[in-house]
Amino acid sequence: MSKPALPPSPGWDLERSPFHRGELEIQERVGVREKIGKQGRQAVRRYLTPQHREFFPMLPYVFVGSVDVHGRPWASVLVGEPGFINPTNEVSVSVRARPLYGDPLNESLAPGSDVALLGVQFHTRRRNRIIGTVTAMTPDGFTVDVRQTLGICPQYIQGREITFDRDPLVPEARPVHRGTALDGAARKIIEKADTYFVASVAPRSEDEIAMGVKISHRGGRPGFVNIDDDRTLNAPDFLGNFIFNTLGNWLIDNHAGLMFIDFDNGSVLYIAAHAEVIWEGPELRAFTGAQRLFRYHIDEVIRVEASLPCHFTAPDYSPLLARTGHWDEVTQTLEAERLRTVWRPFTVTDIVDESTVIRSFVLAPADGRGLATYRPGQYLPIRLQPEGWAEPTTRTYTLSDASNGRTYRISVKREGKGGVSDWLHDHVGIGDTIETLTPRGTFVFDEAAGRPVVLISAGVGITPMVAMLNSQLVNDGRTLLHKPIRFIHACIDSQRRAFAAHLARKAELHANLTLHIVFSRPSADDVLGKTHHSVGHIDRALLQRLLPLDDYDFYLCGPATFMQSLYDAILSFGVRDKRIHLESFGPASVSRRVEHTAEVDTSEGVVVEFAKSGKTAIWRPKCGSLLELAEASGLQPLYACRSGSCGTCATRVAKGTVDYGEPPAHDVAPGEALICIGHPHPGLHLEDGTLNREGVTLDL
């Protein structure tokens, strides 16, 4: 007998959380527990809202999670004419449908059993979920008491329309194939799949409200589920709603039930497996858009031929799929990572004027190979030979977009001095070729920090900040950093301001982003409050006015004098040096002041002598490269690329050993070092058969 209807409340009406301990632990790990805790009390309910009661009767299909007698979850599908799912009141649902022939749901559906109903409207990409208990079996279906309901985001759903071929209430016997590994037909279904459903379970021994079986939708580009072997699948986990029902269940019980539908012929593939979550590794880094990988170890396979009494139209793919990767690209990316010191040809596929002085160039591999991934903030070494120049020349330009697995984008300022940057503006067009190395650089966004962020830039220094912003604010409203982001940028006027429309759109879609644009000399057409927020410069007083007290990480990029003044100003607020991340363009690096606290690296430094100048310095990892150490010591060595690709900084090593984080792209002559990426060997040096700690002596 169904329990009486509950009076609707504005959200979750219990003091305890709507999530169980597994879900809370994953939310804590990802840094969203507090935020999702608040949102969950608004989105999760113990009853059906009016919207739910209107939505489910419109559906001709519903996806079902159930648990068999062995405690294994299974994902299934029920079909029927619209109205076959009928909410009888706020806490009860009547389902008039029978499981498909060969579906494990035939054995698991019984009074008292856990069940989850996922309603997905493919053509509108709406979806809602019900979690409850089967209360009774009827001649043509069953009834469910509702424990939880939740509206779910519409990401990665492929639009499809359905047409019935026969009466869905009259199941027909179909060929059923069972095994413990994938056969050829099963492989073909998975290889072309753009959708699958996954059921999971957290046994309700601890929690009668939040635990139980749940079912989720997963979507991607066709073939986004990789077949490692006949008993192992690998699938990406893209950005979702941060509730983590499935991962939370797997912390308690890692059984998984997968279902793939062949939308072309109606066959259905059911898989029982154990799930493994991959949180880091080269494959994950190479898969664009993936936050994690799921590895499924197969226990049982059931394939039913032409099971569905209906057919579907061709898919209308989700626009979000363009921002996701594919396993073919992963293979190419991993191969590209092995070509870090090889100059490769790239074709200019697009050119965009971001302002009157900054132009973006989009580059795609011209050699048929993949694209190495990179972290936001890194730069791209390029090599070209302008007409009339005696030799090829190298330059480095910061990548101005987040890694997408298919193209690089650099944004170049016209300097007006006739150099390489001007040549790019004047002579490079779509279809032209530029050689590049893989991206590199140590000025990168710390995605693990999880603190509020302040991005401060001037002029073309905006480029790494846009890349960092794009890496965190994604999918038209989703954010990977659940903390405030303050974007502060200075330039002359609106004509010279790059990425204005893009940043305005980001601010409109993402509530955690705050923009502040400073013009030093606004034009007559600029309007305060519309094109910019203040007039003058970014200085200590402005930062003090704009930034509420908080535990920020600062990222700075701009000319050297701009950087030094802001670095000093931020330090004066009591911010620790290690919270200030810098990238300067200009003749010298910022002079940093490292605080002497227990948190600072106190390992024994390496003595570096500069023979010609008679100066001596102590190098520690915080000092960066030998070039940066020399600049901090008041020297001005020659350099150009700061990436080890041009050889301009080559310096004779009189004593000691110089190490590199990665092999230099430029050949290093015996007895010399590329100090722009080199650092002194921190260990003991063998000299005349004796171990000494005498450091490194450079001919500077």
Domain at 453-585: CATH architecture: 3-Layer(aba) Sandwich (3.40)
Protein fold of 339-436: Elongation Factor Tu (Ef-tu); domain 3 (2.40.30)
Distance CA 219, CA 195 (A): 4
Average pLDDT over residues 551-576: 93
pLDDT in tens, 96-125: 999 999 999 999 999 999 999 999 999 888
- Report residue 171's pLDDT band, with 50, 70 and 90 as the boundaries: confident
Q: Please determine, for residue 566, whether its predicted confidence score (pLDDT) is greater than 60.
A: yes
Give the per-residue pLDDT at 603. 54
Distance CA 11, CA 479 (A): 23
Average pLDDT over residues 621-637: 85
- Report residue 598's pLDDT band, with 50, 70 and 90 as the boundaries: very low
Answer with the residue of higher pLDDT: 463 or 391: 463
Domain at 606-698: CATH architecture: Roll (3.10)
Instruction: Compute, in degrees rounded to 10, the torsion defined by CA atoms 260, 261, 262, 264.
Output: -150
Average pLDDT over residues 174-199: 97
Task: Look over the chain and give the mean of its residue pLDDT values, rounded to a whole number.
Answer: 91
Give the per-residue pLDDT at 34. 92
Distance CA 453, CA 423 (A): 35
Q: What angle do CA 80, 81, 83 make, to 5 degrees?
A: 100
pLDDT in tens, 296-310: 999 999 999 999 999
pLDDT in tens, 474-487: 988 889 999 999 99
**pTM recorded for the entire structure:** 0.85
Q: Please determine, for residue 690, whether its predicted confidence score (pLDDT) is greater than 60.
A: no
CB 445 within 8 A of CB 487: no
Give the per-residue pLDDT at 478. 87
Span of 187-191, 236-240, 346-350 with lowest mean pLDDT? 236-240
Burial 107-131 (b: 16+ CB within 10 A, else e): ebbeeebbbbbbbbbbeebbbbbbb
What amino acid is encoded at 681 in this protein? H
pLDDT in tens, 42-52: 899 999 999 99
Q: Please determine, for residue 693, whether its predicted confidence score (pLDDT) is greater than 80.
A: no
Answer with the residue of higher pLDDT: 151 or 539: 539
Percent share of the chain, pLDDT over 90: 73
Say yes or no: do domains 453-585 and 606-698 share a fold.
no
Which sequence spans correspond to the domains of the chain?
21-329, 339-436, 453-585, 606-698
* CATH of 21-329 among 2.160.10.10, 2.30.110.10, 2.60.40.10, 1.10.10.10: 2.30.110.10
Which residues 6+ apart lie within 8 Å of 390 measured at CB? none
pLDDT in tens, 409-457: 999 999 998 889 999 999 999 999 999 999 988 899 998 888 999 999 9
Give the per-residue pLDDT at 595. 54
